[in-house]
Structure 1
Amino acid sequence: MTQIKKDLLEVIENTMIPEVEGYLEDLHTIIEKKEQTDETMEEVRDIESFLVELQNIIYAVNEDKIDDEQATEVYGKIMKMIEKHEHDEEEH
């Protein structure tokens, strides 16, 4: 496995999935407290979809169904997403 694919797997498994699962738990807590809005429910659907996409990327890498160019592109998008999230947190 190439380094970019290892890096992609590492950032998905150790950063993205734990972050997404944590956020999903927060949304489920809101729902359990019966404080949800239509936006909350939409957000849950979106986040669950995103989690499935991340799992599909892991599968594609492990099954060698993604090439280095695709892995580089996805890795770049994920890193931009992480940077934006960190920047947004700094502003709050």
Structure 2
Amino acid sequence: MSDIKEKLKTVVQETMIPEVEEYLEDLFKLLEENKSTPDDMDAIKEMESFLVELENILLVIQEDKMSDKEYQEVYDKIMDLIHESEEEEEEEA
């Protein structure tokens, strides 16, 4: 497996999917406690869809359906998302 495919697989499996699942758990807790807002409901739908996209990325890697250039583009977009999220967390602190 090429280096970029391995890096993409690692970041999706070890960072993105666990973070999305954790966020979804928090949203579902709000829902169970009847504390959710319409925005929370929208976020649940978006995060579930995003989770499916991440799982599809892993499937594409497994089946080797893209070029290394395409894997690099996806990896770069994911890293941008991670950096944006980190910056937002810093601003909130």
Confirm or deny a common fold (TM above 0.5). yes
Find out whether 1:20 has 2:20 as its counterpart.
yes
Deviation of 1:20 after TM superposition, in Å, equals 0.4
Q: Which runs of 5+ in 1 are unaligned?
A: none
For each residue in 1:12-65, what CA deviation from the matched residue of structure 2 results, as whole angstroms up to 9, or x when unmatched?
000000100000000000000011111111110000000000000000000011
| Distance (Å, rounded) in 2 between the aligned partners of 1:61 and 1:30 | 34
Q: Which runs of 5+ in 2 are unaligned?
A: none
Superposed structure 1 runs of 4+ greater than 4 Å apart:
none
| Distance (Å, rounded) in 2 between the aligned partners of 1:2 and 1:21 | 27
Q: Work out the number of aligned pairs and report it.
A: 92
TM-score of the superposed pair, with normalisation by structure 2: 0.97
TM-score of the superposed pair, with normalisation by structure 1: 0.98
Deviation of 1:67 after TM superposition, in Å, equals 1.4
In the alignment, residue 37 of structure 1 is paired with which amino acid?
T
Partner residue of 1:30?
30
| Distance (Å, rounded) in 2 between the aligned partners of 1:44 and 1:66 | 29
